[in-house]
Amino acid sequence: MPARRVVLGVGGGIAAYKSASLLRLFAEAGHDVTVVPTAAALRFVGTATWEALSHHPVATEVWDDVAEVAHVAIGRETDLVVVAPATADLLGRAAGGLADDLLTNVLLTARAPILMAPAMHTEMWEHAAVQDNVATLRSRGVVVLEPGEGRLTGADTGKGRMPEPEEIRALAELLLRRADALPRDLAGRTVVVTAGGTREPLDPVRFLGNNSSGRQGFALAAVAAARGARVRLLAANADLPVPAGVEVERVGSAEQLQAATTKAAADADVVVMVAAVADFRPAQRAEHKIKKGAGEPDSIPLVRNPDILAGLVTDRTGVRPLLVGFAAETGDASGDPLAHGRRKLADKGCDLMVVNRVGDQHAFGRAENSAVILADDGTETEVPLGPKAVLAAAVWDAVAARLVR
> Cα–chain-centroid distance for residue 189?
16
Give the pTM: 0.93
Burial grade of 216 (CB within 10 A; 0-12, 13-18, 19 or more): buried
328 confidence band (pLDDT: 50, 70, 90):
confident
Average pLDDT over residues 209-233: 96
Is 305 a known active-site residue? Answer: no
Q: Is 91 helix (H, G, I), strand (E, B) or coil?
A: helix
Q: Which one, of 53, 24, 54, 134, lies nearest residue 87 by Cα? A: 134
Q: Say whether pLDDT at 268 is over 80.
A: yes
Q: What is the pLDDT of residue 161?
A: 95
pLDDT digits (tens, 9 = 90+) for 39-49: 999 999 999 99
Residues of the chain with CATH 3.40.50.1950: 5-177
Catalytic residue selected from 210, 237, 305, 369: 210
Angstrom distance (rounded) from CA 369 to CA 362: 7
Range 5-177 classified under CATH 3.40.50.1950 = yes
- pLDDT tens for 294-310 read 778 889 999 999 999 99
pLDDT, tens digit, for every residue of 145-189?
A: 999 998 888 778 889 999 999 999 999 999 999 999 999 999 999
Q: Kindly state the percentage of the chain with pLDDT values over 70.
A: 95
Say what the pLDDT of residue 68 is: 58
pLDDT band for 320, please (50, 70, 90 cuts).
confident
Answer positive or negative: Cα dihedral of 98, 104, 106, 112: negative
Q: How far apart are CA 247 and CA 188, in angstroms?
A: 15
Rounded to whole angstroms, the Cα distance separating 81 from 74 reads 10
Query: Residue 342: which of 332, 355, 333, 331 has the closest Cα?
Result: 355
CATH topology for 190-403 is: Rossmann fold (3.40.50)
Measured distance CA(125)–CA(146) in Å, rounded: 10
Q: Tell me what the pLDDT averaged over the chain comes to.
A: 92
- Partners of 159 in the beta sheet? 149
What mean pLDDT is predicted for residues 316-341? 84
First to last CA, the chain: 35
Model confidence band, residue 402 (pLDDT cutoffs 50, 70, 90): very high
On whether the CB atoms of residues 264 and 221 are closer than 8 A, the answer is no
Which residue would you say has higher pLDDT here, 365 or 259? 259
Q: What are phi and psi of 172, to 5 degrees?
A: -65, -45
Cα(308)–Cα(314) distance, rounded to whole angstroms? 10
Stated as kind and residue range, the H or E segment containing 125 is helix 122-126
Please name which of 79, 113, 117 lies closest in space to residue 183, comparing C-alpha atoms.
113
Q: What is the mean pLDDT of residues 8-18?
A: 97
Asked if residues 45 and 10 have their Cβ atoms less than 8 Å apart, the reply is yes
Q: Where exactly does CATH 3.40.50.10300 map onto the chain?
A: 190-403
Give me the mean pLDDT over the 44-55 stretch.
Answer: 96
Residues 14-18 have a mean pLDDT of 96
Contacts with 335 (C-beta within 8 Å, 6 or more apart), sequence order: 343
Query: Residue 333: is its pLDDT beyond 50?
Result: yes
- Among the residue ranges 136-150, 222-236, 330-344, the one predicted with the least confidence is 330-344
The string of pLDDT tens digits covering residues 19-31 is: 999 999 999 999 9
What pLDDT score was predicted for residue 250?
A: 97
Least confident of 34-38, 177-181, 313-317, 370-374: 313-317
Residues 6+ apart with CB under 8 A from 20: 45, 49, 50, 53
Tens-digit pLDDT profile for residues 129-149: 999 999 999 999 999 999 999
Q: pLDDT at position 67, please?
A: 47
Question: Helices in 293-333 by DSSP H: which ranges?
Answer: 308-315
